[in-house]
Structure 1
């Protein structure tokens, strides 16, 4: 525990590190169109810049507890900041898409370690009676990071080159490393002979990586019509099944799956996966929808996310205290999923004429929903675990959130592409030469073009192009609306899972929820 100036310097340093790590999960989202054009890559391929970072997070998070003990928490934390910072510089210097994807993976390795270790350091900085406040402060970083990313990314893309979305991390990272060196208490490396579960790490990386490629590339390459998709699907299934068997067999697994014997933790892990799915997918889909369909700039898109983020920031510091006062986390979680479902439902009702004012309310629901889920879900997940199992339970829960985000982006991208194909087929069946509305539209465009000096042939070509653009825009509008509705349904379906965890016993018999670290 720390006091006075040192305590709050550590808080600022930790939250800054957490925020820049999570900013990088979404800062690319609003610049993906620009990067795609500048790097000469498709939008589907460019999405790997986002997903490679998330995959690296998923792989490193369950390993951080062991590595921090083995190396020493302070040393590991500073090393992670420096790795993140160096990788950020390399991302900005990348000459092609796949270099960028590789350096983003490296950046994710450093960033994932920051996320887990930051929570542990912050938790230990506060005395037990103030740990509710500590958890609220940490959740503040978790919410602000993904939400402020599009704002920063939008401003940078509109005013500078996309490389600066990575270069901006360099001075912040160096300052965080310096403050950590000066103010964090030294920690000694563990002297035990506990072996590293290298085989488990290998299986985790192979299984998650193969599954991610299948999800990301399946739609583009017609799923199982492509041989490599079949091979990777089999590899993912085999690796993940073997991982489960191996982790349950050895004494010191990289992921302690034995804690999943707790039904509450198992259900919470599912809900946390959905939280990650919704949290990251919404911040991925909304910028694409706002820029590609509505026509907003990258910066305008980012600023629309701010009101909800600010409201979430206001309530986050109080959530830990509310839980420690005896309020059961399930009630907050139900409200959080309900708010998140309302966000998706309201967004699915927007259209091409929707103004920015309409988005204010659903985006506020999104921010509040995220705030009401992050801390209470962690508290619920570990509420029935033995003290010695709590760090592993919390780490598993954090991993599920990042995995939900990683898979969510790939799944929602695939879902939009699939719905676009179906929606286009449905639309063009009504756009025929015999359709009166189509004839009138073509005639109006032709007449207008010819009135401005175009020949009949040129005017007809322009009318066909205009009609095609209208069909494409309407197709993707319907597809994004379907995606938002999917997010609403997914969140709503989690509410019954929360209700299952509510047990009929007296309040006095319920373990008072606390927010824990990953270590």
Structure 2
């Protein structure tokens, strides 16, 4: 969405305060994508469900956000930027409160979906409003501040989520949104209500929206519930697979022929865009899955608290903050394909480092790959956006950016579901294999009894060791597969042509 240059431009303290309010809004929304990751075991325990089911708290938010992002442009044109922003913020606050009050998994998933629907438009809207209220000569600095909130929020999310879960209770990871949301609502209403954009009656692709919701929902339900229902052994899962497949094909046909599509798939005719978003989807889906699974492993079998797991996870953003401005400058001087290849390849190398993790690893052995991973993140995101948006026609930039955001968010949900399933299944296989080759189990029990433990406690000790090693091996195998995906994604980026035109730095952020 382009900035509305006809809106009044703020000056002085009002401009600074408005910029702070918008940056804080973006920070809150991005924070919510990671703050729940380290709290999944706490939420699962509080709701009486398995950790695998607990990941639905993460995937449901991502799916809802993915569905709502393509609607942002239509909502703004139909109702106005400020009205949509205010409604989204109020809804985000209400659903945040309801998430904290949820007493069942069904209620939690429903409220997270509502939170995702409301949070989806806020990130692009904050960017649009910043470009609207700041004069042209100050927009680069404004977007730099906006980008820093996008980078720093994922660092603080795991730390904040772990600290709150350990020292208070998990509902407070949602309640903390309330004072921030109220402050931002009042701030936007007070400072920016005169910056409202013009509205117009525009058609919406209702059937395309219906098809998108159906096939995405069916696919996500299949991925989330498949393991528990024996996959194709369940008629329900088979039904979801059929609905997802038919819905997806119908969606493609409809969107390619509709006059006003909800998702403009015609931008995929540009080879550079297609290659870039393919690399983005696979890489980001793989990356986000690891961000969810690592805290689960640390808390479920490694004995870490949520706070300590948050510190380990948060290290991946440190170098990202440092190198983001450097990469932004390099993008105008170096072939962006080389930068993307380096960034994704670096993510693959850090995944290889994680294949050497073991059950006795100390904090820094676990945190070191997280720290060095951050170096590759800005090389991955910023130049990849330049390649994708530089490949399409100028008038298609907004549509292409919306498609990228949609696929990135959807890839996060799908990657998390597939990664969690692979991890759990691999752990079960490892457990069976380790049990079969276990040596001197009776001797271990006898030694335990000599040290004052009962036979039952001795068997529990063996069970604990087997479980710990099975999940450690599953984590190694998962990251070996992740490294392969990263390496392939790094290679295919060279199939894209070098961007034929420059891209606005704001779009790259």
Q: Residues 348 and 482 of structure 1 are in contact (CA less than 8 Å); yes or no, is this contact kept in structure 2?
A: yes
CA-CA distance at 1:315 after TM superposition: 2.5
Q: TM-score, normalised by structure 1?
A: 0.91
Pair 1:265 & 2:302 matched? no
* Structure 2 residue aligned with 1:109: 117
CA-CA distance at 1:336 after TM superposition: 1.3
* Structure 2 residue aligned with 1:434: none
For 1:291, which of 295, 299, 312 is the aligned residue? 299
Aligned residues: 499
For 2:175, which of 167, 177, 189 is the aligned residue? 167
CA-CA distance at 1:502 after TM superposition: 4.5
CA-CA distance at 1:148 after TM superposition: 2.1
* Structure 1 residue aligned with 2:471: 476
The runs of at least 4 aligned residues of structure 1 exceeding 6 Å deviation read none
CA-CA distance at 1:132 after TM superposition: 5.3
Q: Residues 19 and 130 of structure 2 are in contact (CA less than 8 Å); yes or no, is this contact kept in structure 1?
A: yes
For 1:82, which of 72, 75, 90 is the aligned residue? 90
Cα 1:305/1:403, change in 2 over 3 Å: same
Q: Residues 277 and 407 of structure 1 are in contact (CA less than 8 Å); yes or no, is this contact kept in structure 2?
A: yes
Pair 1:342 & 2:349 matched? yes
Cα deviation code 1:384-429 (max 9, x no counterpart): 2222100000111111110111111101011112212222232222
Q: Residues 280 and 409 of structure 1 are in contact (CA less than 8 Å); yes or no, is this contact kept in structure 2?
A: yes
Gaps of 5+ in 1: 432-437, 504-508
Q: Residues 326 and 513 of structure 1 are in contact (CA less than 8 Å); yes or no, is this contact kept in structure 2?
A: no
Q: Residues 265 and 382 of structure 1 are in contact (CA less than 8 Å); yes or no, is this contact kept in structure 2?
A: yes
- Alignment partners' CA distance in 2, 1:118 and 1:214: 34
CA-CA distance at 1:250 after TM superposition: 1.5
- Alignment partners' CA distance in 2, 1:250 and 1:408: 29
- Alignment partners' CA distance in 2, 1:217 and 1:379: 37
Q: CA RMSD in A?
A: 2.1
Q: Residues 279 and 490 of structure 2 are in contact (CA less than 8 Å); yes or no, is this contact kept in structure 1?
A: no
- Alignment partners' CA distance in 1, 2:351 and 2:82: 41
- Alignment partners' CA distance in 1, 2:64 and 2:93: 15
Cα deviation code 1:80-111 (max 9, x no counterpart): 11111111011111122211111110000111
Pair 1:377 & 2:384 matched? yes
Gaps of 5+ in 2: 1-8
Cα 1:331/1:122, change in 2 over 3 Å: farther
CA-CA distance at 1:444 after TM superposition: 4.1
Mapping 1:51-450, distance limit 5 Å: 51-126=59-134, 133-184=141-192, 185-191=194-200, 193-323=201-331, 325-431=332-438, 438-439=439-440, 442-450=442-450
SS of structure 1 residue aligned to 2:120:
helix
Cα 1:386/1:6, change in 2 over 3 Å: farther
Q: Residues 283 and 485 of structure 2 are in contact (CA less than 8 Å); yes or no, is this contact kept in structure 1?
A: no
Q: TM-score, normalised by structure 2?
A: 0.92
* Structure 1 residue aligned with 2:458: 463
- Alignment partners' CA distance in 1, 2:448 and 2:458: 10
* Structure 1 residue aligned with 2:4: none
- Alignment partners' CA distance in 1, 2:347 and 2:421: 21
CA-CA distance at 1:136 after TM superposition: 4.3
